[in-house]
Amino acid sequence: MKKKSMFFLVIVFVMLFIVGCGSQSNDTNASGNDSSVDSGTSESDTSKTQDETSENDADVNEDGTVNNPENVEIKEGNLVFWSLFSGGDGGFMDEIITDYNATQPTMQVQPIMLVWADYYTKLQTAVAAGKGPDIGVAHASKLPELVEQGAVVPIDSYLEDIGISMSDLYTQGSINSVTFSEQTYGVPLDTHAEIMYYNRDILAEAGVELNAEGKLDIQSADAFLAILDKIKAVIPEGSSALALTNSGDDPYRVWWATYFQMNGTAILSADATEVTLDKNVAMEAAEFVKRLYEEGYVLEGIDDHQAFFQSGKAGILFGGTWATGAFEKTDGLNFGAQNFPKLFDQDACWADAHIMMIPYSKERTDEETLEAVRFIVAAASDGGVTWAKSGQIPSNINVVNSQEYAELDYRSDYKNALNTAVLPPQSSSFYAMKAGMIDSLNAYWTGQSDVETAINDLYSELASNIF
C-alpha cells in the first residue's frame, strides 16, 4: 500500500508538471504563430468583465461541460459537485440537485459537469493539489483505485450522525462495492448496463416483426445477424444496421458481453492477484465483434453511436441504459429497448455502477463534509426515481421497489439486467487494465494486429497491472 501511495504521488507530480508544461507550451505557440493577434487580444482583455473572464477561464463547451472546472466561479457557502454525467443523464442529475436545493438545506449544491474523458485525470490532479470538489462520483470499477490513493474519504461516522443504516437501503452486493477495510467510501447510486435499442420504423420497413411484448426475439448470433441483414437491405446510404463506434469503450463492452456469453472465465482471480482470462474464448469473442464491421453491419466512421441512433439513421444500437431518458425526449424517434440479447450460451452483459463519494480535502470542515454526505444520501434516495428516468437502475432498494419506478417504461425490464450483468473485478488497477484491453482490441478492430496478437497483448496488459 505504501509503495502504491508513493507511486501515486509521483504520478500526480508528473501530471501536474505536464499540465504546467502544456499551458506554457500553448502560450508560447500562440505568441510565436501570430504576434498581431496577441496585441489585439491584449487590448480586448482589458474591457472584459469579471464574469466573462471567469467563464472563459472555465472553458465551457457547447454541451455545458467545462474543461477547466477549477476556474468556475463558486458561490460562497456552496458545496461543489463535479460530475461526469454527459451522456444524456446530466439533465436528470441537475433536476435532482435543483429539487434538493429547494428543500433549503444548510448548504446548497453547485454542480459542474466535466468532460467524461477528462474526468478522473482532473479529479485526481485537483484532489492532489488541494483544489478538489466537495462531492464527486466514481464508477465502482474506479473506486478501489481512488480509495487506495487516499483521494476519497470514509463516511461511516457521518452516516451515523444522520441516522442512515446502509443495510436498510442497499443490497449486500452494493454495500460491498463501497466497503474497503470495513469502512464505507460512498453511497451506491445505480447500476448501468449495456442494452439493445431498436428503431421501430426501420424494423417495420425491413419486415422485422416484434413479439407480443414488443421486443425482438433473439436467441442466437445467427438470429441477430439475420435481423441485421434485413435492416441492411433497406436502409439508405449513410445509415447503419447497427450503431457502434469503430473503437474505444463501445466495442469493448460488446466484446465483454460476448466473452462471458461464450462461457469465458473471470478475467482475474477472486483476489485480483492472477489473470484467469480464457485466451481462446477471448479470441472467439473478438472475432465475432470484428465480423460485425467486416460484413458491413456497422457503418465506418461512427464516432458517437448514441447520437447516430438518436438521429434515426440506425436500426439497432448497443448502448447504455443511461441513453433512455434522452431518447424519450427526442421528437420523431420511434424506439424500443430491451436487455442485451442472448447471442451465445449464457445471458450476460457489460455493466458498471456509479458511486456518490466525498473527495479528500484538508480545507473542508467536518460540518461541510456532513452536509455533503447528507446530499449524496438524498440524491440516491429522494432523487432515485428522477435518476431512474434517465434510464439508470437505482441502487436504493426502496426506489427500485417503488410503484413510481415500476410505472416507468422499460425500467422494470432493466432490473432483469442485474441478473445477467458482469461487473468489472474489484481491483485498484482495473482502469489501467481496461485501458490496455481497449488499446489491444482497437488494434484488432482497425487491422493493426491479428486476433492472436491482440489477445496476447490484452492478456499481458492484465498481467502487467497486477501489483
Please choose, from the candidates 161, 262, 247, 299, the residue with its C-alpha nearest in 3D space to the C-alpha of residue 441.
Answer: 247
What pLDDT digit, counting tens, does each position of 166-206 carry? 999 999 989 999 999 999 999 999 999 999 999 999 999 99
Beta-bridge partners for 110: 80
Residue 23: name the closest of 62, 61, 71 by CA.
Answer: 71
How big is the CA angle at 355 (ends 349 and 360), to the nearest 5 degrees? 145
Residue 64: pLDDT band (50, 70, 90) is confident
Task: Tell me the CA distances in angstroms from 353 to 5, 112, 187, 194, one per residue in order.
Answer: 25, 20, 11, 12
pLDDT value at 33 more than 70: no
Residues 6+ apart with CB under 8 A from 303: 245, 246
Q: Note the pLDDT of residue 74.
A: 93
**Model confidence at 431: pLDDT above 80:** yes
80-89, 160-169, 309-318, 446-455: least confidently modelled range = 80-89
User: What pLDDT is recorded for position 411?
Assistant: 85
pLDDT digits (tens, 9 = 90+) for 290-347: 999 999 999 999 999 999 999 999 999 999 999 999 999 999 999 999 999 999 999 9
Burial class (CB in 10 A: 0-12, 13-18, 19+), 50: exposed
Least confidently predicted of 146-155, 170-179, 230-239? 170-179
Q: What is the C-alpha separation between 215 and 337, in angstroms, rounded?
A: 8
In which residue are the cell numbers 504520478 written?
A: 11
What letters, b where the CB count within 10 A reaches 16 and e where it falls short, cover 377-386?
bbbbbebbbb
Amino acid at 90: G
pLDDT at 444 over 70: yes
pTM of the model: 0.81
Considering only the C-alpha atoms of the chain, give the largest distance between any 2 of them, rounded to a whole number of Å. Answer: 69
pLDDT of residue 25: 30
Give the residue from 239, 244, 226 showing the smallest Cα distance to 314.
Answer: 239
| Choice between 8 and 299, residue whose per-residue pLDDT is larger | 299
Q: Is the pLDDT of residue 36 over 60?
A: no
**Three-state SS for 19?**
helix
What pLDDT digit, counting tens, does each position of 393-405 carry?
999 999 999 999 9
pLDDT tier at 284, thresholds 50, 70, 90: very high
Tell whether the model's pLDDT for residue 53 goes beyond 50.
no
Residue 54 binned pLDDT confidence (cut-offs 50, 70, 90): low
Cα R_g (the chain), whole angstroms: 23
Higher pLDDT, 13 or 231: 231
State the average pLDDT for the chain: 88
Q: Where does the pLDDT of residue 62 fall: very low under 50, low under 70, confident under 90, or very high at 90 and above?
A: confident
Taking a C-beta distance cutoff of 8 angstroms, is the pair 384, 396 a contact? yes
- Hey, which residues does 338 pair with through a beta bridge? 196
Q: What is the mean pLDDT of residues 131-155?
A: 96
For the chain, give percent helix, strand, coil, nearest 5.
50, 15, 35
Cα–Cα distance for residue pair 104/107, rounded to 1 Å: 8
Q: Is 324 left (phi over 0), alpha (psi -120 to 50) or beta?
A: alpha
pLDDT at position 20, please?
32
Share of the chain above pLDDT 70, in %: 88
Neighbours of 325 (CB within 10 A): 20
C-alpha cell at 290: 470484428
| pLDDT average, residue stretch 210-226 | 96
Give dist(CA 274, CA 282) in Å, integer.
Answer: 17
